[in-house]
Amino acid sequence: MPGGKRGLVAPQNTFLENIVRRSSESSFLLGNAQIVDWPVVYSNDGFCKLSGYHRADVMQKSSTCSFMYGELTDKKTIEKVRQTFDNYESNCFEVLLYKKNRTPVWFYMQIAPIRNEHEKVVLFLCTFKDITLFKQPIEDDSTKGWTKFARLTRALTNSRSVLQQLTPMNKTEVVHKHSRLAEVLQLGSDILPQYKQEAPKTPPHIILHYCAFKTTWDWVILILTFYTAIMVPYNVSFKTKQNNIAWLVLDSVVDVIFLVDIVLNFHTTFVGPGGEVISDPKLIRMNYLKTWFVIDLLSCLPYDIINAFENVDEGISSLFSSLKVVRLLRLGRVARKLDHYLEYGAAVLVLLVCVFGLVAHWLACIWYSIGDYEVIDEVTNTIQIDSWLYQLALSIGTPYRYNTSAGIWEGGPSKDSLYVSSLYFTMTSLTTIGFGNIAPTTDVEKMFSVAMMMVGSLLYATIFGNVTTIFQQMYANTNRYHEMLNVRDFLKLYQVPKGLSERVMDYIVSTWSMSKGIDTEKVLSICPKDMRADICVHLNRKVFNEHPAFRLASDGCLRALAVEFQTIHCAPGDLIYHAGESVDALCFVVSGSLEVIQDDEVVAILDHFPK
């Protein structure tokens, strides 16, 4: 069944997500490879700290770091760096650069081109490591007259932490590979994505919960679960022994499919509490073991094959027949997935009818079991003439007969007639019709009928009497969503281009998946002023806690600002501002990243506020 792909795992720029944010200990720049002189479009905090430059000072400067060159910078090295950029190659250099305060520092500079899905170089990644302690220390007034060993000892003492960051690397390797770029960032190559709009990467043996195969497989499991919910109570109540090879093979196939489903569930992604797709195999296994594994395992045991043997003890056979009822617990897994269809009126109506019929089927099996238990007194080996089974046998002309040679009672209605009559009785009772041609006579039958009437009145009132109310409640929660979806008619009427139409629909669906149709403004309008301010502070707590602009703000100031804040969701690929537009609001990027585009070229990549 659909896992809700859109909105939860919308295409995203996974480069910044997986590289920039996972390499906080590295110092690096990103340069645009499509523009002359390869201007810097992103600089992380590590580089700013290492070079002494503010991020605003570095943006749009050359990725070759020409602004850090000085009189001692080797000219040949400068030329090799430019050639590496010109030829879109990977290389590494030891170069002497100058910080903002003009302090000379030896850097180990690594350059790696980043290609998109079309194998076109779109970015350059430049990483920097301070290796001054391994080079001839720079002589200054404080070190004049010192020996080389003494100066090196002083450098090691002042920069001991650098030893933990520096990793040996073969300087001659210039082959462009994903693993090379991962090595530059000290990351595993398995988490290094291409710089493009793409779905989350998953290991080869992991199945995405929203893929076409998993959707089809879930529908197969749904159908087999309903088959189990129907056949298990019938087989247990009517004590059927699967001697028919066709039915035995069918039930065995169902058991095998349920077993395969267990294996697949150990390799299927799921949506985490934060809306993210969990693809880590270990987390998937732990989640499944904690939730549905035990129930799924009990439901796929081959009880029917055990009961098929003729020499199985009657008590053991009854035990295994009763254990088959555990399979009904799989209906809980079906119920948890039906929320994807509750916005469709037809699906709800079909679901209610199926629930009503399933309950009637279960009650029919119990009704027959009561009659079968009471029709023959095992102590006196006599027939109970007041049992509904005895009365039914007389009415349809198949009475019970006593076989004196075998000492047992034989005859009576066939199992098909017994089931149809039982279902007929439960249906007439649940719908409060009650024709009376089949009626309870014994005390146990009357007690069960009373319980069934209570259940029937509840089901009747809930399902049939309040169908309108159910639809009203359903559409009250999804009315805004359906109103938003009316934009499809607008898009068709005015022949909006396909690309723009998809952007509009992606925005609507992804916004709905995040808000679940809840109108935040309407909820806040119900609350008093003080409570509304507290809620707004909670909703914007991430901005207040992590953005430096609010660190010294008082509680009263934060409460006043929080009430004025508005949370806006932008779908992937949305344009926030165009050049020349008047900006009438101050925006804080809480999650995700933005690209600044000029003349169809990325000139800057903006991450969210500092952590």
The pLDDT tens digits of the residues spanning 182-209 come to: 444 444 434 344 444 445 567 788 888 7
Do residue 61 and residue 179 come from a single domain? yes
Do residue 383 and residue 503 come from a single domain? no
The pLDDT of residue 166 is above 50: no
In the block, residue with structure tokens 């109970």: 384
The pLDDT of residue 440 is above 80: yes
Do residue 230 and residue 330 come from a single domain? yes
The domain boundary residue, chosen from 465, 486, 502: 465
Most confident of 23-27, 49-53, 118-122: 49-53
**85 — pLDDT class (breaks 50, 70, 90):** very high
**157 — pLDDT class (breaks 50, 70, 90):** very low
In the block, residue with structure tokens 């002189």: 37
For 465, residues 6+ apart whose C-beta sits below 8 A from its C-beta are none
User: Is residue 597 a part of any domain in this protein?
Assistant: no
**Residue 512: alpha-carbon gap to chain centroid:** 16
Do residue 376 and residue 460 come from a single domain? yes
**Averaged pLDDT for residues 70-92:** 90
The pLDDT of residue 10 is above 50: no
% of the chain residues with pLDDT over 90: 5
In 364-462, DSSP assigns E strands to 376-377, 382-383, 400-403, 408-411
Do residue 58 and residue 71 come from a single domain? yes
How many Cα atoms occupy the beta-carbon half-sphere of 555 within 13 Å?
A: 4
> Can you give the residue range of the structural domain that contains 243?
202-341
User: Is residue 563 a part of any domain in this protein?
Assistant: no
**215 — pLDDT class (breaks 50, 70, 90):** confident
pLDDT at 481: 66
For 481, residues 6+ apart whose C-beta sits below 8 A from its C-beta are 343, 512, 517
Rg (CA), the chain: 36
- CA–CA gap between residue 230 and residue 234 (Å, rounded): 7
- CA–CA gap between residue 95 and residue 77 (Å, rounded): 7
The pLDDT of residue 2 is above 50: no
Do residue 399 and residue 284 come from a single domain? no
Average pLDDT, the chain: 75
pLDDT at 98: 92
Do residue 271 and residue 368 come from a single domain? no
**Averaged pLDDT for residues 151-165:** 44
Q: Which of 135-149, 365-379, 491-505 has the lowest mean pLDDT?
A: 135-149
The pLDDT of residue 178 is above 50: no
pLDDT at 473: 63
By DSSP bridging, strand 104-115 and strand 91-98 are: antiparallel
- CA–CA gap between residue 522 and residue 414 (Å, rounded): 62
**Averaged pLDDT for residues 309-328:** 56
Selection from 37, 148, 61, 162 nearest residue 105 by Cα: 162
The domain boundary residue, chosen from 449, 465, 481: 465
**79 — pLDDT class (breaks 50, 70, 90):** very high
**470 — pLDDT class (breaks 50, 70, 90):** low
Q: How many CB atoms lie within 10 A of CB 249?
A: 11
CATH of the domain at 75: 3.30.450.20
Q: How many domains does the chain have?
A: 4
- CA–CA gap between residue 85 and residue 184 (Å, rounded): 16
Do residue 74 and residue 191 come from a single domain? yes
Token pair listed for 209: 């919960």
- CA–CA gap between residue 100 and residue 57 (Å, rounded): 10
Which residues, listed in sequence order, are joined to residue 151 by a DSSP beta bridge? none
Which helix (H) or strand (E) segment holds residue 447: the answer is: helix 443-459
Selection from 197, 202, 233, 10 nearest residue 122 by Cα: 197
CATH of the domain at 402: 1.10.287
Which residues, listed in sequence order, are joined to residue 410 by a DSSP beta bridge? 401
Whether residue 426 contacts residue 448, with contact meaning beta carbons closer than 8 Å, is answered with: no
The pLDDT of residue 598 is above 60: yes
**Averaged pLDDT for residues 143-164:** 46
The pLDDT of residue 20 is above 60: no
Do residue 346 and residue 453 come from a single domain? yes
User: Is residue 528 a part of any domain in this protein?
Assistant: no
Do residue 362 and residue 431 come from a single domain? yes
pLDDT at 164: 38
CA distances from 319 to 177, 250, 259, 291, 314 (A): 62, 22, 22, 26, 9
The domain boundary residue, chosen from 465, 488, 503: 465
The pLDDT of residue 340 is above 80: no
- CA–CA gap between residue 476 and residue 480 (Å, rounded): 8
- CA–CA gap between residue 384 and residue 400 (Å, rounded): 11
**386 — pLDDT class (breaks 50, 70, 90):** confident
Write the pLDDT tens digit of every residue in 568-597.
777 777 778 888 888 778 888 877 778 888
The pLDDT of residue 31 is above 50: yes
pLDDT at 576: 80
pTM of the model: 0.45
The pLDDT of residue 399 is above 50: yes
Top pLDDT among 240 and 439 is at: 439
For the purposes of burial, counting CB atoms within 10 Å of the CB of 41, is it exposed (0-12), middle (13-18) or buried (19 or more)? buried
pLDDT at 177: 43
**6 — pLDDT class (breaks 50, 70, 90):** very low
pLDDT at 311: 55
Top pLDDT among 39 and 241 is at: 39
Write the pLDDT tens digit of every residue in 343-358.
555 666 777 788 888 8
pLDDT at 81: 92
Top pLDDT among 245 and 532 is at: 532
**Averaged pLDDT for residues 384-413:** 81
User: Is residue 527 a part of any domain in this protein?
Assistant: no
The pLDDT of residue 427 is above 50: yes
CA distances from 383 to 184, 391, 416, 440 (A): 88, 11, 21, 16
Do residue 475 and residue 460 come from a single domain? no
Alpha helices in 211-244 (DSSP H): 212-237
Write the pLDDT tens digit of every residue in 263-318.
998 988 887 776 677 888 888 989 888 887 887 787 777 766 655 555 555 555 55
- Residue 211 has φ and ψ, to the nearest 5°, of -70, 165
User: Is residue 123 a part of any domain in this protein?
Assistant: yes
pLDDT at 190: 40
User: Is residue 186 a part of any domain in this protein?
Assistant: yes
Do residue 191 and residue 216 come from a single domain? no
Selection from 200, 199, 179 nearest residue 190 by Cα: 179
User: Is residue 194 a part of any domain in this protein?
Assistant: yes
Write the pLDDT tens digit of every residue in 519-531.
777 888 888 888 8
User: Is residue 585 a part of any domain in this protein?
Assistant: no
pLDDT at 381: 76
